[in-house]
A and B are shown apart, each in its own frame.
Chain A
Amino acid sequence: MLGLYFAMLETAEERSRFEYFYTTYRNTLYNYAYYILKDVHLSEDVVSEAFLVLAKKIRFVEHMEEGKVRNYLIIVTKNYAKKLYNKRIRQVSLDELSETQSSEIQSMAGDAEQEVAEHMDKEHFFKVIRSLDEKYADVLYLKYYIGLSEKEIASSLDLKVSTVRVQIHRAKQLLREMLEGEEQYGKEPV
């Protein structure tokens, strides 16, 4: 129920913080959504969804730097906009994987990760991360920079926890493969 989200904004401080982000970033979020959807009303719907998510997480972002909150909102907005865009063009979402598949993949620990990590240049590594498909890079960002748990990422992006787990695993697997490929064939610009 909608009320439950706002029931979580219990103090004047939380309310004030929420309103600050709302007034400061609603234009930014709208423009991100519009860039993807090219539709005024749909973009506004997406912005309102993003702020609902923020209301739910307002305590979590209480002590977070503003830039992180902004980026969090942008990722949430882009995610909803893309989902909606995909629905509109009737694309089949590839996000859904069963818990079984998830746990199977989870058990495949990437030993090769350690090898690529040993010789990694951080700046280059960051470029490789950014070259990933956004959905993979975003979950890594939310997990390793914002510090969200898989459950929190799932609730923020309206995904199953198992899907988030799979995306994180795939993201790391892709990173490993890209970096291994570089080692084999020499670095290529990303």
Chain B
Amino acid sequence: MGKSQFDAMLEETFAEFGDDYITVPADVQKPHVFSKRFERKMQKLMRHKWSLYFSSVRLPVEKASAVLVLALLSLMMQAMGDPSVHNQYPGFITAMHTNYVYVIAESDEDAPETIETFYDLTGIPEGFAATENILTEYRHMEFINPEKHIDIRFSQRAKSQLSVRVNGEKSPMRRALVNGHNGYFIEEPSGNYLLMWDDDDYIFYIDIVFDGRYYTWEQERELIKPYLENMKIVERDTSPMAQHTGHSSSDFVQEILHDGIEVVEIVE
């Protein structure tokens, strides 16, 4: 009998008795109330997989979709009379007042009320000094290059805390699709541009200021493009597993929210 016969014996034995290899005792089936953090993580993963499925299906008609979006949405927000609520910008509700537009998230029902998953902006070129402020519902990272006078600001905010008041006359807002997520490109009166998007769980902002000069949004867009393409938004592992071991809870899964930030379309 050769070695393969020993293997065959193993196979035959398992075939006969393999069902008994693991017996599940009743006590391991008792219900556990999973934490909200766990539930959100799993729901997010399941949402993610599904959206990826559809995004892969849609890919060939991406251009067509963009044209359709262009046709459907107006160039910019117009100041209107009495406050009125609009949701023509998916994912957000805009309450339009005479001189300003008030933006909140369309729904924060399933989103974390505080920042549970921290995302870091990486891929920043050399020569930038970083600072960070963290609150429970808001965090802000800033990267400053004093020699080139470039200031990159990145924020992550709980959706329930989103409350942006934009000057309706002087701060045009253009809808942007950021890595497939709904967002805005907002021109601030100072001439700065703020890219904001909703990633289901959180609101993210990126704002890059170049030497304090005024640029048109077309110029700004070209200026920030190479920066955005090289940036990654990566989950910071703050799980108990990482805290205990110093290793990621996902040693074999590097969780990257955005690998490069692509503004697919600015809606005119």
Contact = CB atoms under 8 A, between A and B. Distances in A.
Among B10, B37, B42, B240, max chain A CB count under 10 A is at: B10
Nearest to A126: B17
Among B5, B17, B241, B244, max chain A CB count under 10 A is at: B241
A136 interface: no
A188 interface: no
A118 B28 CA distance: 39
A71 interface: yes
Given A7-B52, A45-B249, A2 B5 contact: no
B48 A158 contact: no
B259 A1 contact: yes
A69 B5 CA distance: 27
Interface in A1-60: 1-3, 5-7, 9-11, 15, 18-19, 22, 26-28, 30-32, 34-35, 39-42, 44-49, 51-52, 55
Contact of A141 (B14, B28, B53, B239): B14
Interface residues of B, number: 56
A84 B48 CA distance: 27
A114 B1 contact: yes
Contact of A67 (B2, B15, B19, B37): B19
Given A40-B35, A122-B13, A122-B16, A9 B241 contact: no
Contact of B42 (A48, A115, A137): A48
A117 B1 contact: yes
B247 interface: yes
Contact of B53 (A2, A10, A67, A87): A10
A19 B19 contact: no
Interface string B35-79: 101100110011011101100100000000000000000000000
A126 B13 contact: yes
Contact of B24 (A39, A74, A126): A74
A139 to B, nearest CB: 11
Among B29, B41, B42, max chain A CB count under 10 A is at: B42
A117 B9 contact: yes
B interface secondary structure, majority: helix
Contacts of A140: 10, 14
B30 to A, nearest CB: 6
A15 B5 contact: no
Given A84-B241, A87-B245, A117-B5, A144 B10 contact: yes
Interface in B1-35: 1-3, 5-7, 9-22, 24, 27-32, 34-35
Interface residues of A, number: 64
A2 B258 CA distance: 11
Nearest to B52: A7
Contacts of A67: 19
B13 A84 contact: no
B16 A126 contact: yes
A152 interface: no
A158 B252 contact: yes
Contact of B249 (A11, A49, A125): A49
B45 A31 contact: no
B49 A15 contact: yes
Given A28-B24, A141-B14, A51 B42 contact: yes
A172 interface: yes
Given A42-B244, A158-B251, A48 B14 contact: no
B207 to A, nearest CB: 26
7 contacts: A35-B28, A49-B249, A70-B22, A113-B6, A114-B6, A130-B21, A140-B14
Given A3-B48, A45-B240, A110-B6, 7 more contacts: A18-B49, A41-B239, A46-B241, A88-B244, A125-B9, A137-B21, A145-B15
